[in-house]
Amino acid sequence: MALSLSYFLPKLAVCLMILIILCIARTDSEHSCDDNESRLKYTLNESSHCRSVTDSDKHLIGSLEDWSFANSLLLDTFPIDKEKKNYVREVKDAIFSVVLPTPLQTPVKLVAVAHPVLEDILDLHPNVTKSEYFLAFVSGNTILADSTPLSHRYGGHQFGDWANQLGDGRAHLLGEYVNRKGERWELQLKGSGLTPYSRRGDGKAVLRSSVREFLCSEAMFYLGIPTSRAVSLVVSNDPVWRDQFYDGHPKIERAAVVLRLARSWFRIGSLEILAHKKETSLLRKVTDFVIEQYFPTIDPTDKNKYLALFSEIISQTADLIARWMAVGFAHGVMNTDNFSLLSITIDYGPFGFLDKYVPSFIPNTSDDEGRYSYQNQPDIGIFNMNQLRAALWSLMDREQKRQSEVVLRGYVDIYKRRFMELFRAKLGLFGLSEQDEYIVALLLKIMEDTKADFTMTFRQMADLNLRDIENDDIADELWALKDLHAHEQWQEWSQRYADRIHENGDEDTDQHRRDRMNAVNPRYILRNWMAESAIRKAEKDDFSEVRTLLQILQNPFEKQEIAEISGYAGTPPDWAKKIRVSCSS
């Protein structure tokens, strides 16, 4: 199917060359984590006092001892792997394996907590984070009485090829929590040790990748993008060998653990493995569960429910990817095992936000062919939806299969519509106008030619009054726009833009437009250099910048003094050009 989305993005290159990269680190050491001795070695955390306690905290649970997981729907619903020993193997006829996290061997330290997640999702009072019990819980060093840790069996297409069984190779689903709002959340540790799905990996996660996942999942949430969340970051001195750039220079790094949350961790790969292994009744069971739990608009008795599910996921995925594009986010590894059935952003690895607008930007240095470049993301969405369609194939009759092709084709229109809605809003435009697509495409072309800063171009656009646009008057401090101003088509663009703003109507003032634009165009995103700077300090045991970044990114649309002093809304420093991010994590 020829469904290129190059439509909006000049010079869009479609790279569908096959690249096989195993993104897991090899390790010589093999050890069993069957023993569940709770080795409670910790230092008291430094991060629990980020927030003062107020009266409105009264509804929060003050002690982890009084907090408990709900009865597990997953355990009640799905068959569990009969093999209880923890060794790497191919698992059949099961969705989960029961496996305990491996306690860290050296003292652990809680270095960052996302308080809104702790309080608004987990109903826990900030004081809880001061307890040793909490530290043991979030590091995987102890297991709550009502928890049965699970690792999930899934497969996936990696870099275009079927990769067979993958699964949670270093993640443990601790349990499901139903909060005071009645929301069910699945809590999962990442970096918590070997599982039956560890393949050749060591089950661990290093500090740098854990900092990135912790910060980015929260940053994305506050940008309004569907995502998994993260509540805590724990670090130890357990040594982890990683050859970060796969160039024969392995180094010892520190093991870290993130406690992350999602309404569900089911992925496209969760269904794919069952379809590939012809475990059709299990495939139906998981799909029915997903429909019943997460798609309330689909009638579970409808004979077209699988088609309806496919259609919903198509539209939510198109929406998700349009949102990524609108904030300049490149996921980096859009394999089907990293693609949620709930269309939330998951599995943060070698992601990157655009600094300069370079559509061919490849965040992952291991992605030689640029399969997962920024501009390829909408097309990869189609590839992934096609794999989902293949996974649902055996559940559909002939007519539904035929319809599913039509549904798949609809992805492009949904994506384009969402993309335009988002970019219209970024430019402060009301309604629809025929010229909008040209206005957006020409702006992006000018930005690409001038390598303008993606985030600050849109942010600074809000600082222009209509008269400034008409008179082509750009203040010196609007540095990102100065780059555009030099372009030969800028005048044409700004006149068209000014005319289009007039179509908003007389009631729309400069101030109103500015407020709207500032509510959708972030001032701060997690640029690679910002994450890198925080990581370098963290590696020297200084986590202050991780915590500061978390705080700033929880409010990305508001100007913040500390962020301005740190240069987070300025041009990236020169050293940022040298930063490389690989699959190694």
Burial of 282 per CB tally in 10 Å (0-12, 13-18, 19+): buried
Nearer to ligand AMP, 222 or 348 (CB): 348
Q: Helices 544-553 & 207-222, crossing angle to 10 degrees?
A: 20
Write out the E strands in 86-227: 96-98, 109-113, 150-152, 155-158, 161-165, 171-178, 184-190
Among 81, 176, 186, 202, indicate the residue that binds ligand AMP (CB under 6 A).
202
Nearer to ligand AMP, 129 or 151 (CB): 151
Using CB under 6 A as the binding criterion, the count of chain residues that bind ligand AMP stands at 21
For residue 343, the minimal CB distance to Mg ion (Å) is 16
For residue 497, the minimal CB distance to ligand AMP (Å) is 41
CB 269 within 8 A of CB 343: no
Under the criterion CB under 6 A, does residue 453 sit at the interface with ligand AMP? no
Under the criterion CB under 6 A, does residue 166 sit at the interface with ligand AMP? yes
Under the criterion CB under 6 A, does residue 367 sit at the interface with ligand AMP? no
- The residue type at 468: D
In which element (H, E) is residue 352 found?
Answer: strand 352-353
Under the criterion CB under 6 A, does residue 169 sit at the interface with ligand AMP? yes
Among 219, 333, 535, 563, indicate the residue that binds ligand AMP (CB under 6 A).
333
CB 170 within 8 A of CB 192: yes
Which candidate, 294, 301, 313, 317, places its Cα nearest to that of 391? 313
CA distance linking residue 131 with residue 113, whole number of Å: 13
Under the criterion CB under 6 A, does residue 198 sit at the interface with ligand AMP? yes
For residue 161, the minimal CB distance to ligand AMP (Å) is 13
Burial of 102 per CB tally in 10 Å (0-12, 13-18, 19+): buried
For residue 350, the minimal CB distance to ligand AMP (Å) is 9
Under the criterion CB under 6 A, does residue 196 sit at the interface with ligand AMP? no
For residue 443, the minimal CB distance to ligand AMP (Å) is 34
Chain position carrying tokens 């936000």 = 353
Which candidate, 467, 466, 444, places its Cα nearest to that of 457? 444
| Contacted by 333, from Mg ion, ligand AMP, none: CB < 5 to 8 Å by type | ligand AMP
For residue 243, the minimal CB distance to ligand AMP (Å) is 12
| Contacted by 379, from Mg ion, ligand AMP, none: CB < 5 to 8 Å by type | none
Among 81, 119, 168, 367, indicate the residue that binds ligand AMP (CB under 6 A).
168
For residue 383, the minimal CB distance to ligand AMP (Å) is 17
Among 101, 126, 155, 349, indicate the residue that binds ligand AMP (CB under 6 A).
349
Nearer to ligand AMP, 48 or 86 (CB): 86
Tell me phi and psi for residue 135, to 5 degrees: -60, -45
| Contacted by 204, from ligand AMP, Mg ion, none: CB < 5 to 8 Å by type | ligand AMP
Q: Which residues contact 182 (CB under 8 A, 6 or more apart)?
A: none
Under the criterion CB under 6 A, does residue 167 sit at the interface with ligand AMP? yes
State the pairing for strand pair 109-113/150-152: unpaired
Under the criterion CB under 6 A, does residue 201 sit at the interface with ligand AMP? yes
For residue 100, the minimal CB distance to Mg ion (Å) is 21
Nearer to ligand AMP, 198 or 340 (CB): 198
* Positions in 4-63 near ligand AMP (CB under 6 A): 23-25
| Contacted by 439, from ligand AMP, Mg ion, none: CB < 5 to 8 Å by type | none
| Contacted by 226, from Mg ion, ligand AMP, none: CB < 5 to 8 Å by type | none
Catalytic residue among 168, 202, 238, 337: 337
Nearer to ligand AMP, 196 or 359 (CB): 196
DSSP annotation of 102: P
Tell me phi and psi for residue 114, to 5 degrees: -90, 100
Under the criterion CB under 6 A, does residue 344 sit at the interface with ligand AMP? no
Under the criterion CB under 6 A, does residue 255 sit at the interface with ligand AMP? no
* Helix residue ranges, H only, 427-543: 436-450, 454-461, 466-471, 479-485, 490-502, 510-520, 528-539
The question of whether 337 is a catalytic residue gets the answer: yes
Nearer to ligand AMP, 81 or 337 (CB): 337
Please report, as ranges, the residues that interact with Mg ion according to CB under 5 A.
338, 347
For residue 397, the minimal CB distance to Mg ion (Å) is 33
Chain position carrying tokens 């555009």 = 484
Which candidate, 459, 454, 468, places its Cα nearest to that of 498? 468
Under the criterion CB under 6 A, does residue 350 sit at the interface with ligand AMP? no
The two structure tokens encoding residue 459: 């942010």
CA distance linking residue 390 with residue 535, whole number of Å: 40
CB 202 within 8 A of CB 169: no
Which candidate, 413, 406, 422, places its Cα nearest to that of 318? 413
CA distance linking residue 80 with residue 173, whole number of Å: 13
Active-site residues: which are they?
337
Kindly list the residues in this chain that would bind ligand AMP in the complex (CB under 6 A). 23-25, 166-170, 197-199, 201-204, 333, 337-338, 347, 349, 585
